[in-house]
Chains A and B, each alone.
Chain A
Amino acid sequence: MITAVRKPMEEIIACVEPYDRILLVGCNECVSVCSAGGRKEVALLASALHMHFMKQGKTMDIREITLERQCDPEYVEELVTSVDGSDAILSMACGCGVQTIAARYREKPVFPAVNTTFMGASERQGVWSERCQGCGDCVLGITGGICPIARCSKRLMNGPCGGSTKGKCEIDANVDCAWQLIWDRLKALGLERRIEDIMEAKDWRTSRDGGPRKIIREDLAS
């Protein structure tokens, strides 16, 4: 999923302060799962903003809506009637959702209420870790299901480096060495000889380095 964390209150307040009527929009997908911008977080942020502005002697009209998916124009269309009655939109979706709203409602300022962080997985309750950088050319099949790009601090394709100690990374003793994990996993699978295969210089064209990416499925595109 795409993970996010809410922005500091001061930053959010500074964005919406000039306005009187705010449309606060949550998203029921990834940011809801990582408890950053779902229905519950929308309600919490609305309360916090109400309290702040009441203390300032200002009545802020905040309308709360949580869409099924903010990155989908079909759902963003549901905001049509609510947008008219607001001065600005505050989105709690990831950057994809914020931009979908900004593209659809060009006449209204749109502000992000969360910082989109990474593509990750849930480790346990309340803990998410980065797992994928969307390089567009997956190597998990040869690295034992552990991504060296997302999980090795140096993005080494032929690790480990000299900074790996007792299975931990030199940047932080709480960070696993991805190449230790890869070695352990390959060994458990009886595939440890694979570590001797040198991976060639990676072709980053499929990653962000080739410019903004787009997928066009001819069989689905209308």
Chain B
Amino acid sequence: MNFKKKLSAAEFVVLAEMNTPKGVDISELVTNARRVKDRVDAVVVPDMDNGVMRMSALAGGALLRREGLETVVHVYGRDKNRMALQGDLLAAYVLGIPHLLVVPAEPMSNGDHREAVTVDDLDESGILQMIRSLREGVDLSGFDLKGAPDFTSGCAMAQVADDSGLDQEIETVKRKVEAGAQYIVTPPVFDLAAYGRIADALKPLGVPVIATVFLLKNVGMARYMSIHDPGSRISEDMIRRIRKAPDREAECIRMAGETAAELKKMVQGIKIATLGWEHRLPDILASAGL
């Protein structure tokens, strides 16, 4: 059963995130994808993740499609205007990529090409409306398409630092759903109790929610995120657990697996982000019993 059918049948979906290479050596990407081929419903391919120039998600998605995996590609407005976005989306569809995830882009000043022009012709809601228009067979200038793409498009929810920011973010996500988002991907979960409140708040929007499972790789990473991203809610207990483990790497995998297993009881899907440790995806899935 494919990603779209599972979403509409309210079945649990498992996504894995895999970045394209900065260069043309695709061996690692393909190898990692083959490892999880029959264990995930789709691979999410970010585009220029964290503002770093790398092979486009369109090419990455098409490559993985060739390997027999379903793919979800990121779409954002920082680098392309509405013409380029629409052209690339039509290309994605004919290359076997009907699943899209509209995301915010990292500011150009935080990336590795800081001198570049920022386009920002369309924001996330604008892109979602554009995708809906393409689905209806009309481009953003009102011209008919020769063949309409049957996209499934999702939106991203931003990290909220505390409960006071939650209402505002829910309103933002609601607008994205009204603009055409058919599913919501929420930020990394490290505090399941707090996440329960987010999942409850999203329920009235009536679309599937996919939670992000983020693999903490070491104590330093956990500590850094807890300080610089308070919305992540990484507790001292979590950091201590990694620090005291005899095999810290295995403990990190176990923690991600536990989070994934718990989230399965709360939402309709998970997206596992491993940030360069995609070779450990099978271990996380095994740990989660998936």
B109 touches A211 (CB 8 A): yes
Overall SS of chain B's interface: loop
A201 touches B109 (CB 8 A): no
Q: Is B25 part of the binding interface, using a Cβ–Cβ cutoff of 8 Å? A: no
B116 touches A204 (CB 8 A): yes
A203 touches B109 (CB 8 A): no
Q: Is A196 part of the binding interface, using a Cβ–Cβ cutoff of 8 Å? A: no
Residue of B nearest to A207 (CB): B117
Residue of B nearest to A203 (CB): B115
A211 touches B107 (CB 8 A): yes
Question: CB < 8 Å: which of B108, B109, B114, B115 contacts A202?
Answer: B115
Interface size on A, residues (CB 8 A): 10
Residue of A nearest to B118 (CB): A209
Docked Cα-Cα span, A36 to B115, in Å, equals: 36
Interface string of B108-143 (1 = CB under 8 A from A): 110000111110000000000000000000000000
Q: Is A205 part of the binding interface, using a Cβ–Cβ cutoff of 8 Å? A: yes
Q: Is A57 part of the binding interface, using a Cβ–Cβ cutoff of 8 Å? A: no
Kindly identify, within residues 169 to 222 of chain A, every residue whose CB is under 8 Å from any CB belonging to chain B.
201-205, 207-211
Residues of chain A within 8 A of B116, CB atoms compared: 204, 209
Residue of B nearest to A200 (CB): B115
Residues of chain A within 8 A of B118, CB atoms compared: 204, 208-209
Kindly name the residue among B107, B108, B109, B115 whose own CB sees the greatest number of chain A CB atoms within 10 A: B115
Least CB distance, B114 to chain A, in whole angstroms: 6
Docked Cα-Cα span, A204 to B118, in Å, equals: 9
Docked Cα-Cα span, A207 to B108, in Å, equals: 12
Interface size on B, residues (CB 8 A): 8
Residues of chain A within 8 A of B117, CB atoms compared: 204, 207, 209
Kindly identify, within residues 49 to 91 of chain A, every residue whose CB is under 8 Å from any CB belonging to chain B.
none
Residue of B nearest to A209 (CB): B118
Residues of chain B within 8 A of A211, CB atoms compared: 107, 109
Docked Cα-Cα span, A209 to B117, in Å, equals: 6
Least CB distance, B109 to chain A, in whole angstroms: 5
Docked Cα-Cα span, A40 to B114, in Å, equals: 45
Docked Cα-Cα span, A201 to B113, in Å, equals: 12
Docked Cα-Cα span, A204 to B114, in Å, equals: 8
Docked Cα-Cα span, A205 to B115, in Å, equals: 5
Docked Cα-Cα span, A211 to B106, in Å, equals: 12
Residues of chain A within 8 A of B114, CB atoms compared: 205, 210
Residue of A nearest to B109 (CB): A210
Residues of chain A within 8 A of B109, CB atoms compared: 205, 210-211
A204 touches B115 (CB 8 A): yes
Docked Cα-Cα span, A208 to B117, in Å, equals: 9
Docked Cα-Cα span, A207 to B116, in Å, equals: 10
Residue of B nearest to A201 (CB): B115
Docked Cα-Cα span, A211 to B115, in Å, equals: 12
Interface string of B80-121 (1 = CB under 8 A from A): 000000000000000000000000000111000011111000
Least CB distance, A89 to chain B, in whole angstroms: 27
Docked Cα-Cα span, A203 to B108, in Å, equals: 12
Docked Cα-Cα span, A202 to B116, in Å, equals: 8
Residue of A nearest to B119 (CB): A209
Least CB distance, B81 to chain A, in whole angstroms: 13
Least CB distance, A206 to chain B, in whole angstroms: 9
Residues of chain B within 8 A of A205, CB atoms compared: 109, 114-115
Residues of chain A within 8 A of B108, CB atoms compared: 209-210
Residues of chain B within 8 A of A201, CB atoms compared: 115
Docked Cα-Cα span, A211 to B51, in Å, equals: 15
Docked Cα-Cα span, A204 to B78, in Å, equals: 14
Residues of chain B within 8 A of A210, CB atoms compared: 108-109, 114
Residues of chain B within 8 A of A207, CB atoms compared: 117
Residue of A nearest to B116 (CB): A204
Residue of A nearest to B114 (CB): A205
8 A-B pairs (CB sep. < 8 Å): A202-B115, A204-B115, A204-B117, A204-B118, A205-B114, A208-B118, A209-B116, A209-B117
Given A201-B115, A207-B117, A208-B118, 15 new contacts (CB under 8 A): A202-B115, A203-B115, A204-B115, A204-B116, A204-B118, A205-B109, A205-B114, A205-B115, A209-B116, A209-B117, A210-B108, A210-B109, A210-B114, A211-B107, A211-B109
Closest 3 CB pairs of A and B: A203-B115, A209-B118, A204-B117
